[in-house]
Structure 1
Amino acid sequence: MKLSGLFGVFLLLCVDLRSSGMSHPKPSCRYPPSQWCRSLEIAIECKVQKQCMEVNATRPNQSVPPVSVVLYYESLCPACRVFITQQLFPTWTMLQDIMTVTLVPYGNAKELPSANSPFTCQHGEPECRGNMIEACIIHLTGHSAFQIINCMESSANVLNAAQPCLQLYAPSVSWSSVDSCLKGGLGNQLMHANAVMTRALNPEHTHVPWVTFNGEYTEENEDKAMSSLFHLVCQLYKGVKPPACTGALVRLNRGFC
């Protein structure tokens, strides 16, 4: 699952739209701000093609592969929740043009040969349900999944937050589709796929969160990721560093909100 979006465009569009006399796109725009620059057609409909062109001009060279970050985690693991909300999501928000994030909710769970309860989890049955909810959401919502997962993991009650977080970030996806995924065979299939991915790790994972970069795990990178994932992603990216990494000033039209 590749997660994409343009958080940086929010501030830029806020500035430029206000300076051009528009406080927001015309009502005919059917898309949330996070999708305004996903395609030329959407940008034209939402009257922000000029601003999207300026954002695209500051993007890194797309011929250089992004840094691939894969997180193996558990939905109710306190350390995983801290890493997602304080390191991974903020870093992705700033550097999503040079990194991809894949979320694998499974962690220290065990797959059992039982039709009634095929999985057991470190933090009990609620965590197994949380893992499956997040696996279903990742499968059903695509580019909005990371925002939903972060919303859940930053909430006081991860499971209770699932439905409102889904409605907030992917209103076109009904909760009934997630419920069908949970109660039907799809949820178990997704969890089995996550179990296979987790068991295939080399070296074998010994804890969560467990993070790989470009398909590899090292203790050195893990230590760096836990303290400053942002700087590690900037360091690992092989292309020209984006302004967020270098602190370089980018000359765009000035404006203020």
Structure 2
Amino acid sequence: MKGLYIVLFLFPSLECSTTRCRRSIKPLGMTLLYESLCPDSQEFLTSFWPVFRYYHNCINLTLVPYGKARFLATLRLANMKGLYIVLFLFPSLECSTTRCRRSIKPLGMTVLYESLCPDSQEFLTSFWPVFRYYHNCINLTLVPYGKARPARGGHVCQHGRPECWGNRMQNCALHSNLNQLKQMQFIACQMKDLQLVKKRNFKCAKSLNIIKSVRQCMKSNGQGNKLQADASRITSQYQFNEIPAIIYNGVLNEDLQEASRNNLRQTLCEIMVKTKHLLPDDCYTY
């Protein structure tokens, strides 16, 4: 069974004590089976909160933070009285590692980008939902530097000094304690609104509880300048004409670059079929 599971037990009478549910005797039984690091669980539960606040007196809620860890086999639905409905969300909302079970080593993917580049913005924001789906198949490296170049006292960036600040800040965040999924979540948050960089806004770092480490990294005695030097070195290994540059398994292929920018999901899926991370049919179950 795949995905986030919502189990609703609808008893014969759906009653609770407030005037909103005054005709009921027993509250609605509702059980949510979720995972603490599943983005789909996060999306559902945060949207469920205002609904539950309104109807909480009508609902007997049970939250089970366990998910796919062999829990459902022990759920004794036969012992529950009354009518019950079990909703299984579609596989596109799954948080399973089985999607790439055929792979031995994840596909290496490097994205060279700039924090104030509109093309980088377009690519990375569209990449976020694709990466959420395939993240267990990919070893992702994000490098915020692009067409910048080293200069005396620092770096010169294509979109000016604000971009140099943004590149350094995002590099600090990427080298905090975030896993790859959270790294991409942070970058998607940042790139959604380029004004965040222009206004030196730390909203995305704050939302992921890394603002303290990011600020420390960006101080004059922090690691920010070294990380930018490392980003410059990584970027200089590749010959590219456009940013973002998308590199698979250490090779920059112009045809794959163009295909990735035009239809990333399909291109990425076809690559992973060739590398035997996926079977051909997997490209049609997204």
- Does TM, normalized by the shorter one, top 0.5? yes
Residue 179 of structure 1: which of 215, 227, 231 is its match? 215
Separation in 2 of the partners of 1:195 and 1:244? 37
Q: What percent identity do the matched residue pairs reach? A: 25
1:50 to 34, 49, 70: 70
State the distance in 2 between where 1:242 and 1:56 align: 19
- Unmatched 5+ stretches in structure 1: 1-8, 37-44, 249-257
Q: CA deviation at 1:207?
A: 2.6
Compare CA radii of gyration and give the structure with the larger one: 2
Q: Is 1:71–2:111 an aligned residue pair?
A: yes
**How far 1:91 moved relative to its partner?**
1.6
- Residue equivalent to 1:136: 172
Instruction: Quote how far apart the aligned CAs of 1:149 are.
Output: 0.8
C-alpha deviations, 1:105-161, integer Å up to 9, x for none? 0011111132xxx11111111000000000000001321111011101002513248
Note if 1:206 corresponds to 2:241.
yes
Q: Describe the superposition over 1:28-81 as per-residue Cα deviations: whole angstroms up to 9, x where unpaired.
A: x9x454498xxxxxxxx8232237999647422254332221111100011111
Q: Which amino acid counterpart does residue 70 of structure 2 have in structure 1?
A: K
Q: Is 1:106–1:191's contact at 8 Å kept on the other side of the alignment?
A: yes
Corresponding residue pairs, total: 216
Shift of 1:192: 0.3
- Report the Cα distance in structure 2 between the residues aligned to 1:153 and 1:211, rounded to whole angstroms: 17
Deviations 1:6-39 (A, max 9, x none): xxx7xx22xx2334731366xxx9x454498xxx
2:191 to 153, 178, 181: 153
- Partner of residue 113, structure 1: 152
Give the direction of change, closer, same or farther, for the CA distance of 1:62–1:35 in structure 2 (3 Å limit).
Answer: farther
User: 1:221: how far off?
Assistant: 0.4
Q: Is the 8 A contact 2:110 2:247 kept in 1?
A: yes
- 1:247 lines up with 2:282 in the alignment: no
- 1:194 aligned partner: 231
2:100 pairs with one of 22, 40, 60: 60
Rate the CA distance shift 1:225–1:52 in 2: closer, same or farther, 3 A: farther
- CA-atom RMSD in angstroms: 3.0
When residues 61 and 179 of structure 1 are mapped into structure 2, their CA distance, relative to the original with a 3 A threshold, is same
Kindly indicate whether residue 261 of structure 2 is the aligned counterpart of residue 226 of structure 1. yes
Q: Deviations over 1:173-216 (max 9, x none)?
A: 2x232111111340000000000001122xx2233111111111
d(CA) in 2 for partners of 1:113, 1:73 = 22
Higher strand share: 2
8 Å CA contact 1:95, 1:244 repeated in 2: no
Greater share of helix: 1
Change (3 A) 1:121 1:129: same
Matched residue type, 2:183: A
The answer for unaligned runs of 5 or more in structure 2 is 10-29, 42-63, 74-93
Change (3 A) 1:232 1:52: farther
Q: Relative to 1, partners in 2 of residues 1:243 and 1:100: Cα closer, same or farther, differing over 3 Å?
A: farther
